[in-house]
Amino acid sequence: MMRLIPLTLLSLTLFSSVAALSQASAADPTSAGIPPNNSSKPDVHPSPDQAEQSPSKTSLFDPQKHWRVSQVQPGWKGYGLSVFHGTSIERFDVEVISILHNFNPRGDVILIRCSGQNLEHTGPIAGMSGSPIYLTDPQGNTRLAGAFAYGWSLMKDPLAGVQPIEYMLDMQPQPPAEKQNNTTADHTATHPSMTNPSAAGSSVGATPSTSFTWRMDDTYWNPAKADPARLFAPKSPGNLASVQSDDRPMALQPLSTPLSCAGLPQQVMDTFAPLLRAKGLTTLQSGGGQDDNGAADIALEPGSVIAVPLLIGDVDMTAVGTVTEVLGDRVFGFGHPFMSEGPVNLPMANGQVQGIVASLMTSFKLGSMGQVRGTLTNDQTFGIAGTIGPAPAMIPIDIHVVYTNGSEDRTYHFMAASHREFTSTLASIALMTAATGQRSLPPNHTIDYDLTINFENGRQVHLRNTVSDADSYFLFYELGMPIAIAANNPFDQVLPTSLKGEMRISPHSSYAEMTSIILPKNIYQPGETMRAFVVYRPFRGDEITMPVTFELPRDLPDGEYRLSIADWDSYLDDEAHSKPFRFVAQSADELFTVLDDVLGVQQKALYVYLTGGREGIAQGRKAMVHLPSSRQQIMLSSGRSDVSLFDSTQVKIIPTQYIMHGHSDFGFTVERKLKMMPAQLPDRPDTPDKLPAEPPHADESPTAKPNKDQDAPGESGQPDKNKNQSMN
């Protein structure tokens, strides 16, 4: 069930400002007694992040403390700082091998060889990203050159790439991430459900419109029809660049970011690992704790652990890296993007390392957070940056889980980071962790859930439904879809403020398959009550026959019609096809209305609906069925892009004891004056003497046997085989 920046960033990298060029050329390497770079390339390349700033903003680069990449020479030696166990910052030795010019667009990378701290054995370690690298020139001057940031997979020598510090320090403090404006070109270019309004339905005489139209299709409510990455994988190709991919062992890539997970069931980790990996995070089973080994008292300083807690509480999911530089209350780290989001508003904490795991592919740190110290504000091409001080609010998630067999009755508490791409995934992880925290779901199970999501615009989304024998992705879609859509749409970026609810888990299946449906007649009069018989088989149960009635409108014109008896999924598919305007929004408010409509469709129900005969017209989401044809023609010729025709349907919803599966359509004729009455009606199919209890419906008897005064099958003969239709 949802759900930009790199194009803009790439454009900015191609055109640096005049002020940035002037600032770069003003730095003279020879003024510090440093030999000039022998490269034929220009001495200084302004970074993309530098180009993003206004001319009035100045870099924090200090030539007395920092080296420019143009000053660094092959053969220089120095050291790096990082935490390899606990909270102690330790040194390792480095030597410059070469300068990789233009490795990034208008950005160089320093290639180094490492030794000490067992790096000859482990190679570059995921989690070392940001480790400060200090170099000493021939005159004995030691300054910070950059951040340990890049590595190769499957390498035999401990080589690594260093992100120059001058690029990182160009990142200016950012205010809390602003919502995307609906004029942002990247939104329309990348969101799969943003279309021209005329594409949302069968508009006639429409003129082009510059307004945004968001459309929901069936992949949002049926996970079987779509890849989960469509909603929850990053929209930004830059995120994928931060993944140290196994299929690119020859490429020097940004080190992956370890995501240390404590308290997370293995099944949940396996389910969500591919999506998290696509966001540049490598999930690792680890231990948690916010005060182990005194980590809570450790200051953020060069070489210390910097942690970004994404989900805490009854589980702990924390991204771990290293601090590169601290200037006043500003903290810089990683040396590569976290997710290439630009301005962000995430909690920033200190932390500790529990150990190093050496791997032929990529070695990594096992870490955990300590205490939140401030706010992460920048996530850009050359690293992350934050401010020490108040931390942003996280989203409380409280899930009460009850097993109906009495084996569990517990409330789980979580706090999730507020992020337009992460929050939907984190909320789904919390939900699945609560459902499977103490035990795996039974092979055959039923989950009745009642969840409420509060959003920052004051809207609420209620999720009240039932699933049976569902895989993890189904619940992932059910909860993650509305959060992802609210955060990623062309109108407004709306994030949740809280999530609360209950899940009742029963160790039995509520699934039922409709095997056949019998409609005894095929000619009716207006106002007549149609009677059908639905034969269904519950999971591991006997067949049951349920009578179903549908009253035809008294003013129904003569003609050919279709009666559909279907499950919830087929009903939604048919509604999306016949009334596309119901699944289209042109404002944030309408978008939440669409979510309410779709999420309100119950699975424990049978949907009986009549199609044909009347053609309606819709303007936006407003449907008009009884509009005279002359008025319809006026509206269709008005040139409005939000006017469309649709097939009118009348729907009856019958609550059921089971989650029904199946769908059948019946063609029939309506004649005000019947030409010929049927001489004989077929018998009703055999049914068990005693049927399982079925909840009473609005106008049916709970038993399967029709009343004598109903138009039931005759007392003799067998059912007409042409009327006993098997399910689609």
Q: Are 587 and 491 in contact (CB under 8 A)?
A: yes
Query: Could you read off the pLDDT of 338-348 as tens digits, one per residue?
Result: 988 889 999 99
Torsion angle defined by CA atoms of residues 267, 272, 273 and 274, in that order, rounded to the nearest 10 degrees: 130
Q: Which residues contact 427 (CB under 8 A, 6 or more apart)?
A: 395, 397, 416, 479, 480, 483, 496, 499
Tokens matching residue 179: 């919502």
Instruction: For CA atoms 272, 273, 278, 280, give the dihedral sign.
Output: positive
How much is the average pLDDT of 165-184?
67
**Residue 584 placed within a domain:** yes
Higher pLDDT, 190 or 284: 284
Quick one: 399 and 518 in the same domain?
no
24: DSSP letter: H
Residues 32 and 125 in one domain: yes
Do 19 and 150 lie in one domain? The reply is yes
The pLDDT, as a whole number, for residue 586 is: 85
- CATH at residue 439: 3.10.20
Residues near 661 by Cβ (< 8 Å), separated by ≥ 6?
A: 511, 512, 513, 514, 567
pLDDT at 277: 84
Rounded average pLDDT over 484-505: 94
How many other C-beta atoms are found inside a 10 Å radius of the C-beta of residue 132? 28
Q: What is the mean pLDDT of the chain?
A: 78
Residue 366 pLDDT > 70? yes
Residue 12 one-letter amino acid: L
Tell me, what's the pLDDT at 285? Answer: 84
Q: What is the pLDDT of residues 399-456, one digit of tens each?
A: 999 999 888 899 999 999 999 888 999 999 999 999 888 888 888 999 999 999 999 9
The mean pLDDT value for 274-282 works out to 83
The pLDDT of residue 612: 79
Q: What is the rounded distance in angstroms from the CA atom of residue 648 to the CA atom of residue 553?
A: 13
Strand partners, 530: 550
Under the banding of pLDDT at 50, 70 and 90, the label for residue 641 is low
Please indicate whether residue 23 or residue 75 has the higher confidence score (pLDDT).
75
Instruction: Using the predicted structure, report yes or no on whether residue 351 has a pLDDT greater than 90.
Output: yes
Among 188-192, 633-637, 710-714, which is the least confidently predicted range?
188-192
pLDDT at position 218 is: 57
| Co-location of 472 and 541 in the same domain | no
> What's the pLDDT band for 298 if we cut at 50, 70, 90?
confident
Residue after which a domain boundary falls, among 168, 187, 206: 168
Rounded distance between C-alpha atoms, residue 404 and residue 2, angstroms? 31
CB 109 within 8 A of CB 151: no
Position 720 scores a pLDDT of 41
- Do 544 and 687 lie in one domain? The reply is yes
Calculate mean pLDDT across residues 226-249. 45
Nearest alpha-carbon partner for 165 in 108, 106, 95, 222: 108
Closest CA to 524 of 707, 711, 723, 699: 711
Same domain, residue pair 547 and 416: no
> Does some domain include residue 400?
yes
Give residue-wise pLDDT tens across range 545-589: 999 999 999 988 899 999 999 999 999 988 888 888 888 888 999
Q: Which residues pair with 92 in a beta bridge?
A: 80
Please check whether residue 50 lies inside any domain of the structure: yes
What pLDDT is attached to residue 389? 95
Q: What is the DSSP string of 212-273?
A: -EEE--GGGT-GGGS-THHHHS-S-HHHHHTS--TT-TTS-EEPPEEEEEES--HHHHHHHH
Region class of 540: left (phi > 0), else alpha (psi between -120 and 50), else beta: left
As a dihedral over the C-alpha atoms of residue 381, residue 385, residue 390, residue 396, rounded to 10 degrees, the angle is: 40
- Predicted local confidence at residue 374, as pLDDT: 96
SS3 assignment, position 186: helix
Using the 8-state DSSP alphabet, how is residue 599 labeled?
A: H
The top-scoring range by mean pLDDT among 203-207, 540-544, 635-639 is 540-544
The pLDDT value given to residue 576: 85
* Distant-in-sequence, close-in-space partners of 721: CB < 8 Å, separation ≥ 6: none
Within a domain: 527 = yes
- E-assigned strand segments in 35-171: 77-83, 89-104, 107-115, 125-126, 132-136, 142-151, 159-164
Q: Which residues pair with 346 in a beta bridge?
A: 376
Q: What DSSP state is assigned to residue 292?
A: G
> Of the spans 16-25, 95-104, 678-687, which averages the highest pLDDT?
95-104
| Residue 215 maps to a domain | no
Q: What is the CATH number for 123?
A: 2.40.10.10
**Range 662-666 average pLDDT:** 94
- Tell me phi and psi for residue 448, to 5 degrees: -100, 120
SS3 assignment, position 71: helix
164/249 same-domain check:
no
User: Is the pLDDT assigned to residue 242 strictly greater than 80?
Assistant: no
54: which residues sit within 8 A by CB, 6+ positions away? Answer: none
Domain boundary among 342, 369, 388: 388
The answer to whether position 198 is within a domain reads no
User: In angstroms, rounded to a whole number, what is the distance separating the alpha carbons of residues 450 and 439?
Assistant: 21
Do 497 and 520 lie in a common domain? no
Rounded to whole angstroms, the Cα distance separating 147 from 132 reads: 5
Do residues 582 and 460 both lie within one domain? Answer: no
Higher pLDDT, 139 or 242: 139
The rounded percent of the chain whose pLDDT value lies above 90 is: 50
Check residues 180 and 657 and name the one with the higher pLDDT.
657
Domain extent, residue 55, equals 5-168
Q: How many degrees, rounded to 5, is the angle at CA 42 between CA 41 and CA 46?
A: 125
Q: Are 299 and 349 in contact (CB under 8 A)?
A: no
pLDDT tens profile 674-720:
655 555 445 454 444 443 444 444 344 333 333 333 343 333 333 34
- pLDDT digit string (tens) for 372-386? 999 999 999 899 999
Determine the pLDDT at residue 272: 86
**Beta-carbon contacts of residue 715 (< 8 Å; ≥ 6 apart):** 683
Domain final position from 338, 369, 388? 388
The residues pairing with 217 across neighbouring beta strands, listed in sequence order, are none
Clarify whether residues 402 and 527 are in a common domain. Answer: no
Could you give the percent of the chain with pLDDT greater than 70? Answer: 71
For residue 211, the model assigns a pLDDT of: 63
Confidence label for 271 from pLDDT (cuts 50, 70 and 90): confident
Using CA atoms, how far apart are residues 169 and 385, in angstroms rounded to an integer? 9
Residue 25: φ, ψ to 5°: -70, -20
Contact call for residues 391 and 375 (beta carbons, < 8 A) = yes
Structure-model confidence comparison of residues 180 and 34, the more confident one: 180
Q: Is the pLDDT of residue 270 over 70?
A: yes
pLDDT exceeds 50 at position 38: no
- 189 lies in some domain: no
Residue 249: per-residue pLDDT: 56
pLDDT at 167 over 50: yes
More confident residue, 222 or 503: 503
Say yes or no: 159 and 254 in one domain: no
pLDDT of residue 176: 55
Per residue in 53-89, pLDDT tens? 443 456 799 999 999 999 999 999 999 999 999 999 9
Q: Are 506 and 626 in contact (CB under 8 A)?
A: no
Q: Which residues contact 26 (CB under 8 A, 6 or more apart)?
A: none
Name the 3-class secondary structure at 542: coil
341 with 474, same domain? Answer: no
How many domains does one find in the chain?
A: 4
Q: What is the pLDDT of residue 295?
A: 57
pLDDT at 360 over 90: no
Q: Tell me, what's the pLDDT at 566?
A: 96
Contact 123, 308 (CB under 8 A): no
pLDDT at residue 154 in the model: 75
* C-beta separation of 321 from 334 below 8 A: yes
Q: How far apart are CA 367 and CA 282, in angstroms?
A: 12
Report CA 716 to chain centroid distance, whole Å.
58
Distant-in-sequence, close-in-space partners of 391: CB < 8 Å, separation ≥ 6: 347, 348, 372, 373, 374, 375
pLDDT at 286: 80
What tokens does 726 get? Answer: 């098997």
In our burial notation (b when 16+ CB lie closer than 10 A, e otherwise), range 504-514 reads ebbebbbbbbb
Q: Are 91 and 79 in contact (CB under 8 A)?
A: yes
The answer to whether residue 476 is domain-embedded is yes
